[in-house]
């Protein structure tokens, strides 16, 4: 992103609250939400890269099979972890304020 584009976003401090409210009762869930959101971002990026490599023909059939199994296993583990903290898929969507949604 260029400096001009960043300047158009304005002062990032304006998008942040003056105080960060923390609640001891939800701190574990909130932390899990952030961690799972970041893992989901990395997973999506890896899937896009894998799709590019499949489309380019640079992977063998065995590699494609292993990638598919790995992504399915990762998705299953993420669902288990999200359920353990009472999170839904929508909870993992990250909004970056003036920049918009992350992926």
pLDDT averages per 10-residue partition of the chain, 103 residues? 54 61 80 90 91 94 94 93 90 72 61
Cα–Cα distance for residue pair 68/50, rounded to 1 Å: 9
Give the domain extent around 43: 25-93
Cα–Cα distance for residue pair 26/29, rounded to 1 Å: 5
- pLDDT on residue 15: 61
102 found inside a domain: no
- pLDDT on residue 63: 95
54 found inside a domain: yes
19 found inside a domain: no
1 found inside a domain: no
To the question of pTM greater than 0.75 for the whole model, the response is no
- pLDDT on residue 8: 56
57 found inside a domain: yes
How many domains does the chain fold into? Answer: 1
């Amino acid at each position: 992103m260029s400096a001009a584009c960043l300047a158009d976003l304005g002062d990032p401090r304006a998008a942040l609250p003056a105080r960060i409210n923390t609640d001891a009762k939800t701190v574990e869930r909130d932390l899990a939400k952030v961690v799972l959101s970041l893992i989901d971002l990395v997973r999506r990026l890896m899937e896009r890269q894998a799709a590019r490599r499949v489309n380019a023909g640079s992977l063998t059939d065995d590699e494609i099979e292993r990638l598919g199994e790995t992504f399915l296993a990762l998705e299953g583990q993420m669902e288990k972890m999200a359920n353990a903290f009472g999170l839904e898929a929508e909870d993992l969507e990250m909004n970056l304020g003036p920049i918009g949604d992350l992926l």
